[in-house]
Amino acid sequence: MVRNLFEILAVAYALVALLLVFVILMQRSKQEGLGAAFGSGVTDALFGAQTSSILVKGTAWLATLFFLLAVILSFLSGRLASDHGTIQEKLRHPSTSTASPLLPAKTQKQAK
């Protein structure tokens, strides 16, 4: 169950990271930066005149979600590592195997 949750959150983490990069690149800088590559008023025309305040709020929410997911993923990663145990613990406490050692196979003469 922990492994499935970890995988789902890892995918969500990657998507949030991509969205965060996209939102940051869409923001205007003082020198117009990358925003100028989209045209002088393209973001205003597409998203409205209040684009900068929406992008700032979106950046804050995505950054908060990004760091929250990072903390949760690190916790789950520690849980997964402790569930599997370390190599040193496995060497100290080897599992008692009930399997018998390999015996030589019977030859055809002995079988008859």
List, for residues 63-95, the tens digit of each pLDDT value: 999 999 999 999 998 888 876 665 556 666 666
CB 43, CB 26: distance < 8 Å:
yes
Does residue 37 sit within a domain?
A: yes
Q: What angle do CA 61, 70, 10 make, to 5 degrees?
A: 100
Please give the structure tokens belonging to residue 86.
């370390």
List, for residues 3-47, the tens digit of each pLDDT value: 899 999 999 999 999 999 999 988 876 555 555 555 555 555 665
Structural domain containing residue 78: 2-90
Domain count, the chain: 1
Does residue 103 sit within a domain?
A: no
Does residue 105 sit within a domain?
A: no
Does residue 110 sit within a domain?
A: no
Does residue 8 sit within a domain?
A: yes
Check: pTM over 0.75? Answer yes or no.
no
